Amino acid sequence: MRLVAAAAAALLALLLTAWPVGAQLSSELSPEELLASIELSQDVMPDEPLVAEFAERLDALEQHCAEDRRTLADLVAGIHRELADHDVQHSVRYAAAGLEAASEDLPAGSNCTDLATAYASTILNAVG
């Protein structure tokens, strides 16, 4: 339980800071381009299929979450980084899909920052 509380606190602290390490490639990247560049560990072009995939995930999250698109991307990147910090292999793609699935039953305008923290904690609990 301490691991979960520590993970939740760390994720929240991360979400209150700038983009994750490696993500400061360009302030001109769209949120979906940034997520794709983190996933691929390289620069991406706006027309790459992975960028479109992340755009669709962010579109779906925007339907349920009060946070803006950039913050939602930050939440996804934060989940990925938090789990990686605990040696849990969890791609950015999987983090986005998981947060999207977790948000599906929420009404519009819900707090997805808390949801992201709970999602990361659930994954950490599941892996022990």
Alpha carbon distance 40, 32 (integer Å): 12
User: What is the three-class DSSP state of 7?
Assistant: helix
Q: Containing domain of residue 57, as a range?
A: 2-127
Of the two residues 15 and 76, the one the predictor is more confident about is 76
- In this predicted structure, what is the pLDDT of residue 23? 43
- In this predicted structure, what is the pLDDT of residue 6? 53
- In this predicted structure, what is the pLDDT of residue 16? 44
> How many structural domains does the chain have?
1
Alpha carbon distance 16, 23 (integer Å): 15
- In this predicted structure, what is the pLDDT of residue 28? 85
Alpha carbon distance 115, 106 (integer Å): 10
Among the listed residues 63, 69, 78, the one whose alpha carbon sits nearest the alpha carbon of residue 110 = 63
Q: What is the pLDDT of residues 98-116, one digit of tens each?
A: 999 999 999 999 999 999 9
- Is residue 8 very low, low, confident or very high in pLDDT (cuts 50, 70, 90)? low
- In this predicted structure, what is the pLDDT of residue 117? 95
How far is residue 116 from each of residues 27, 28, 30, 45, 47, measured CA to CA in Å?
Answer: 23, 25, 20, 27, 28
Q: What is the pLDDT of residues 88-102, one digit of tens each?
A: 998 999 999 999 999
- In this predicted structure, what is the pLDDT of residue 17? 43
Q: What is the pLDDT of residues 16-72, one digit of tens each?
A: 443 444 444 446 899 999 999 999 999 999 999 999 999 999 999 999 999 999 999
